[in-house]
A = this chain, B = another copy of it.
Amino acid sequence: MKRVTIGDVAAHAGVSTATVSRVLNGGLVAESTAARVWEAAETLGYSPNALTRSIFAGRASTIGVVIRDLSSPFYLDLIRGIDEVATAADSPVLLANTNRGADREAAQVRAMDQQRVRGLVITAGETTDDHARRMAKNGTPCVVVARTAAGLHSVSLDDVAAGRLMAGHLAGCGRSRVGVISGRDRSTQVKRAEGLRSRLAEHGLPQPEEVQVGDEAEVDEAVAALLGRADAIVCTTGRLTVAVHAALTARGLRMPDDIGFLTMDDFPWASALGITVVAQPSYEMGRRAAEIIVEEPGSPVEVVFEPTLIARGSCGHASA
């Protein structure tokens, strides 16, 4: 039950702990001694304590990730990207889900700080930015994902461009009365709606009607409010795609004939369902966020990714 320590290995090999440490970390040691130490470590089943190493190094090897919403496909791919880079850098990923609770977000960021993570990827509201900036000042690189934040690294999407892509496609498909269902959170949603509006205006189309929705439960009502007055429903957040799609099909509406449907974020089944989406390169964004942490640039880096439209017909087909 008692853990094997470096001292046990040292005693077994008949050397000091300093020598064992040197063998493990590649210092100057005679080959015969090294062999004895390796053998002792092997027979005792020694597993070096990463925590102790970290306290000496001043920080842990782990990369922290605070996730708003573990069930969203966007965040899942983001984590995959982060994990990929982290594993390559020998950094385990410390994950914390917040379920979009502001208090829980703050608590998790604080917890990550206490764990002395090597760096932190944050997908949380602005409330956590102050703490993140304090961490950054202490030498912990913090990367905000899906929006920008003054004084912090960020990896985000050109949300205005995403909105404009959507509007361009809608116009190309001959849709003129657009109903928008958007999430209640932050800047992302505002910018996408902004891009949508500006480009619709450029096409001489009327401004869209917009309904903000907190969670899945409110979606059906929102759809009901828009139907009749719209020939296309746009959903500006990927996490509501299932719910909006369900609300439409539950009414017997067929896409694209009865109604156009356009949403954010690609997902595995979009192709099978023929749903047109504006995709973000979520996996790449995760990779980039983790890379920033590994590289530790001196001044704030702002990476903006471009969205892509993947046309699959749920909104009709654009005329060239």
Which residues in A have some Cβ–Cβ distance to B below 8 Å? 1, 3, 45, 47-52, 54-55, 58, 60, 62, 64, 70-71, 76-77, 79-80, 83-84, 87, 90, 92-97, 104, 108, 110-116, 134, 137-139, 242, 245-246, 249, 267-269, 271-273
Contact = CB atoms under 8 A, between A and B. Distances in A.
A6 B242 CA distance: 49
A54 to B, nearest CB: 5
Contact of A272 (B51, B84, B92, B246): B246
A47 B138 CA distance: 11
Given A116-B50, A272-B242, A139 B1 contact: yes
Nearest to A49: B116
A94 B115 CA distance: 11
B83 A138 contact: no
Contacts of A76: 70-71, 76
A93 B92 contact: no
Nearest to A90: B111
B115 A50 contact: yes
Report how many copies the assembly holds: 2
A137 B45 CA distance: 12
B51 A60 contact: yes
B92 A87 contact: no
Nearest to A271: B246
A71 B77 CA distance: 8
Contacts of A269: 242, 267, 269, 272-273
21 contacts: A1-B137, A45-B134, A47-B114, A49-B116, A51-B51, A70-B76, A70-B80, A70-B83, A71-B80, A83-B96, A87-B96, A87-B97, A92-B112, A93-B94, A93-B95, A242-B268, A246-B271, A249-B272, A267-B269, A269-B273, A272-B273
Contacts of A110: 47
A16 to B, nearest CB: 20
B116 A97 contact: no
A96 B94 CA distance: 9
B111 A95 contact: no
A95 B96 contact: no
B113 A47 contact: yes
A55 B49 contact: yes
Nearest to A249: B272
Contacts of A96: 83, 87, 92-93
B249 A116 contact: no
A20 to B, nearest CB: 15
Contacts of A104: 87
Contact of A245 (B87, B108, B112, B272): B272
Nearest to A57: B51
Nearest to A270: B269
Nearest to A246: B272
A156 to B, nearest CB: 22
Contacts of A97: 80, 83-84, 87
Most B CB atoms within 10 A — which of A80, A116, A242, A269? A269
A45 B114 CA distance: 12
A115 B108 CA distance: 19
